Amino acid sequence: MSDAKNPFELWMSHMQDMAKAVNPALESFTPQGFEKLWPTMPGEVMEQFMGKGLNPEGLDAKTKMLLTLAGLTVLGAQAEAQVRLTVRQAVEQGATKQEIAETIGLMGLFGGLPAMNKAMTLANEVLEDEA
């Protein structure tokens, strides 16, 4: 027999219980909380884990951050904290404002103008803070 409960909700419930067991403060943990806790990973760490450190023949961390930003934009830029974190990480990896704007702008063709505008607004907030 199958369980009537949504399997995703069940999985999330188990993960939340595990997080609470590890640290009770994680009960109310949010993406925005992570953003405040660790706004940008050091460039060398990001390159090691997201770039060529683990795959010398693969994409570098800057390219991966721009691809991540593209995906988040197409999804409607709903994950605001993740968009801001990704823009910060892209800058940390050497992405220019032009590259970030082009990445987001191109995704307007796939995710629509509202998604592009939202991502561009979030990116501009980050880039203004960085200046």
Using an 8 Å Cβ cutoff, are 76 and 118 in contact?
yes
46 and 79 in a single domain? The answer is yes
Residue of 58, 129, 49, 64 lying closest to 94 (CA atoms) = 64
Residue of 25, 5, 118, 14 lying closest to 69 (CA atoms) = 118
**Torsion-angle region of 95 (φ positive above 0: left; ψ -120 to 50: alpha; else: beta):** beta
**Mean pLDDT in order along the chain per 10 residues (131 residues):** 66 76 70 61 68 78 93 89 92 95 95 94 91 68
Which one-letter amino acid corresponds to residue 48?
Q
Using an 8 Å Cβ cutoff, are 70 and 102 in contact?
no
Return the CATH number at 58.
1.20.1290.10
Which one-letter amino acid corresponds to residue 5?
K
The predicted pLDDT at position 33 comes to 63
Full-model pTM: 0.67
The predicted pLDDT at position 37 comes to 59
The predicted pLDDT at position 35 comes to 58
The predicted pLDDT at position 22 comes to 76
Distance CA 63, CA 60 (A): 6
55 and 22 in a single domain? The answer is no
The predicted pLDDT at position 62 comes to 92
119 and 89 in a single domain? The answer is yes
Q: Which of helix, strand or coil describes residue 101? A: helix
The predicted pLDDT at position 117 comes to 95
Residue of 87, 128, 127 lying closest to 104 (CA atoms) = 87
Full residue range of the structural domain in which residue 88 is found: 38-130
